[in-house]
Homo-oligomer: A and B are copies of this chain.
Amino acid sequence: MQVPSGSLLADAALQAGFSLNQPCGGQGRCGRCAVRIDDARSAIRRRSTLRLSKEDVAAGYALACQTVIEGDAWVEVPEQETIERRLVTQKAARRIELPFDYDVARHQSVRRYFLWLDSPSLADQTDDWSRISRALAGEGVQEISAALPVLQGIGRTLRDADWHVTAIVSLDSWDYPQGPARLLALLPGDQSDCSYGAAVDIGTTTVTVWVVDLLRGEVAGQAADYNGQIVRGEDVISRIIYAGKGNNLAEMQALVVGTINRLLEAACTQAGTAPDQVFKVAIAGNTTMIHLLLAIPPEAIRLAPYVPAVNQAPVLTAADLGLVAHPQAVVDCLPGVASYVGADISAGVLSTQMDEAEDLTLFIDIGTNGETVLGTHDWLITCACSAGPAFEGAGVEHGMRATTGAIEEVWVNSGDGEPTYRVIGRLGERPRGICGSGLLSLLAELFITGVMDKRGNLNLDLPPGPDGRRRVREGAHGPEYVVAWGEESAHGRDIVLSKIDIDNLMRAKAAIYAGFNMMAQSVGVDLADVSQMLIGGSFGQYINVEKAVQIGLLPDLPAPPGSASPWDRFHFMGNTAIRGAYMALLRRDARARLTDIVGKMTYLELSADNSFYDAFTSALFLPHTDMSRFPSVEATLAARADALQAAGT
């Protein structure tokens, strides 16, 4: 193939049909797009070889995203790591509880009306459209409008169906609450006995789709899978960078639309319907995900002063986005608050109903951005903590996602520092790495057992284990703790946690706690007064609260009145974003309530606040420099010291 001189090798490869993985979005940072050049016969220029060793370069390796073609080039593309596809459709899905007493006539905006029209005559030459409007007025739908494609079809449908038709109507106007209803489709005969919608959560990593029976309000099909954009960047920043080049924005849109469409088809099959029967779609997602879905350039999101193009997108149709729902389906992207507090968080507030909470509530969606919200029914404050992806297994040498082979929990023996761990998978599954919940519990265990001090320094003096090998040793990048020996692991290499990994994890937890602290401080409340702590996000479901408190990731709260356990204050909410989208799908008033929520949420820009750095560095200890904030951890440590002393005596 031919490309203009000066083209990037990555672009040329894409044009030639090779889809190279670019988890860093083409920044030359991850090294995953390496290809091999026959340098003797090729005229290319390596702009950067950051992730390649001298030996790699000598062997001809080059980063496709950092290599410019300047003449003929002979390129060998290695087989690409494929993202493990994990399309999940739950046949016997967990039954999702209806979040309120649903009444289609009262709550639902997309309705079906069977109309038995008078046929026209020379005495009644009313045009087809006015005839439909007149009949709908008889059903209480006073004003109605329709898009051109609907009008193009009405004449034939009316006549083919002998004037007996089902009108599918969105009672809510396009862009104005008091405006006319919209006729979305006219179907022949009586098809008023079913009605479907879809709730969608576009996560940076995972996209979730629920197909909902709008007559009963029940979830009838569920499906989830990796976001197809993941090959173009694992985090939002990488994706924004990738989307900023050439025609990549359109590609990013196509990738996520493709994922949603596949999931819609799967969930519809499960629900016993078809995507073109879906007439309403409510979509949650962070601000970058919504921008990419709508092909709105997201670049300003990553650059100071971090301003999105739009926090509240207009209502669209499925046809506008290329979704496989009915082309006229109402697509409502829920509103966000800021570049780093998006619709996923406002949907979370909606679904947890913290905007109606009587008592002080703290909500966190644990993830890369650590979005948190603090408040009551009176006020809400929010911030994004830029925790980084350490708790998702990235930036940690043996980190991985929570899939088969991941160590998900670790216990450390307080006597000799020897670990025990649990691996995701079948019985006897060998570990390949450590996922977020495993890292969190490992960190807490190492600290509480004294294998590591409060600054995160590993105790190099820890005595050798029963087999004579040292768990804490000096590794290639400083001190490291061996969680699993090579003979136990799936790949034969030791699985370790290094000081560098520990520092990354400490920074992540410190950022989140500092965020809590800043919010509380800015409104003048005490974190210890938090009445309930709501934990959202898929990672959130797997963390051990006690250990999260021990490392100072979550605040140390007293037991609630009438309860012996402080853990009663912590509630795992699961995917609050999809639940919020589900609420928005069911209730006409949800959009107004969401508008109210985002209007009420004060966004705290941590990078603009000089005291954030102090709060952050104070939290760079286990659990915190100020131990009085963590009385239960202090008590645990004291008890352990007593026990050690007693044992030593």
Chain A residues engaging chain B, CB cutoff 8 angstroms: 120-130, 143, 145-148, 151-152, 154-156, 159, 173-176, 178-180, 294-297, 299-300, 304-314, 316, 320, 338-339, 603, 605, 607-608
A152-B314 in contact given A122-B605, A125-B603, A307-B125 (Cβ < 8 Å): no
Please name 29 pairs of A and B residues whose Cβ atoms are closer than 8 Å in the assembled complex, sorted by A: A120-B307, A121-B305, A122-B605, A122-B607, A123-B608, A124-B305, A125-B305, A125-B338, A125-B603, A126-B307, A127-B310, A127-B338, A128-B307, A128-B308, A128-B310, A129-B311, A130-B310, A145-B175, A145-B314, A148-B314, A151-B313, A152-B296, A155-B297, A155-B299, A155-B300, A173-B175, A173-B176, A175-B180, A176-B179
CA A494 to CA B301, docked complex, whole Å: 80
Q: Is B310 within 8 A of A147, CB to CB?
A: no
Q: Which residues of B contact A178 (CB under 8 A)?
A: 176, 178-179
A122-B300 in contact given A127-B311, A151-B313, A295-B152 (Cβ < 8 Å): no
Q: Which residues of B contact A311 (CB under 8 A)?
A: 127, 129-130
Q: Which residues of B contact A176 (CB under 8 A)?
A: 143, 145, 173, 176, 178-180
Q: Is B129 within 8 A of A310, CB to CB?
A: yes
Q: Is A297 within 8 A of B156, CB to CB?
A: yes
CA A305 to CA B124, docked complex, whole Å: 8
CA A301 to CA B147, docked complex, whole Å: 21
Q: Is B125 within 8 A of A300, CB to CB?
A: no
CA A306 to CA B121, docked complex, whole Å: 8
The closest CB in chain B to the CB of A176 belongs to: B179
CA A607 to CA B180, docked complex, whole Å: 36
CA A79 to CA B4, docked complex, whole Å: 46
CA A148 to CA B306, docked complex, whole Å: 21
In addition to A156-B297, A173-B175, 17 A-B residue pairs with Cβ atoms within 8 Å of each other are A120-B307, A122-B306, A123-B608, A125-B305, A125-B306, A125-B307, A127-B310, A127-B311, A127-B338, A128-B309, A145-B175, A151-B310, A173-B176, A173-B179, A174-B174, A176-B176, A176-B180
Q: What are the 3 closest A-B residue pairs judged by CB atoms, nearest first?
A: A122-B608, A176-B179, A129-B310
Copies in the complex: 2
Cβ of A301 to closest chain B Cβ, rounded Å: 9
Interface centre among A120, A180, A307, A313 (most CB of B within 10 A): A307
CA A122 to CA B383, docked complex, whole Å: 13
A314-B147 in contact given A155-B299, A159-B300 (Cβ < 8 Å): yes
Interface centre among A178, A314, A339 (most CB of B within 10 A): A314
A309-B129 in contact given A175-B174, A314-B151 (Cβ < 8 Å): yes
Q: Which residues of B contact A152 (CB under 8 A)?
A: 294-297
Q: Is B309 within 8 A of A154, CB to CB?
A: yes
The closest CB in chain B to the CB of A308 belongs to: B127
Cβ of A330 to closest chain B Cβ, rounded Å: 14
Q: Which residues of B contact A175 (CB under 8 A)?
A: 145, 173-174, 179-180
CA A154 to CA B291, docked complex, whole Å: 13
Cβ of A145 to closest chain B Cβ, rounded Å: 4
Q: Which residues of B contact A607 (CB under 8 A)?
A: 122
The closest CB in chain B to the CB of A603 belongs to: B125
The closest CB in chain B to the CB of A130 belongs to: B311
CA A124 to CA B605, docked complex, whole Å: 10
Cβ of A632 to closest chain B Cβ, rounded Å: 36
Contact of A125 among B123, B129, B295, B339 (CB under 8 A): B339
Q: Which residues of B contact A124 (CB under 8 A)?
A: 305
Q: Is B129 within 8 A of A312, CB to CB?
A: yes
Cβ of A295 to closest chain B Cβ, rounded Å: 6
CA A180 to CA B126, docked complex, whole Å: 30
Cβ of A185 to closest chain B Cβ, rounded Å: 15
CA A123 to CA B120, docked complex, whole Å: 63
CA A603 to CA B314, docked complex, whole Å: 40
CA A307 to CA B180, docked complex, whole Å: 24
Q: Is B338 within 8 A of A305, CB to CB?
A: no
CA A580 to CA B180, docked complex, whole Å: 27
CA A339 to CA B126, docked complex, whole Å: 10
The closest CB in chain B to the CB of A124 belongs to: B305
Cβ of A170 to closest chain B Cβ, rounded Å: 12
Q: Is B296 within 8 A of A120, CB to CB?
A: no
The closest CB in chain B to the CB of A147 belongs to: B314
Q: Which residues of B contact A608 (CB under 8 A)?
A: 122-123
CA A558 to CA B364, docked complex, whole Å: 88
CA A145 to CA B146, docked complex, whole Å: 18
Cβ of A314 to closest chain B Cβ, rounded Å: 6
CA A127 to CA B154, docked complex, whole Å: 40
A146-B308 in contact given A125-B338, A125-B605 (Cβ < 8 Å): no
Q: Which residues of B contact A180 (CB under 8 A)?
A: 175-176
Cβ of A332 to closest chain B Cβ, rounded Å: 13
CA A145 to CA B312, docked complex, whole Å: 10
The closest CB in chain B to the CB of A298 belongs to: B155
Q: Which residues of B contact A148 (CB under 8 A)?
A: 294, 296, 313-314, 316, 320
CA A64 to CA B152, docked complex, whole Å: 29
The closest CB in chain B to the CB of A120 belongs to: B307
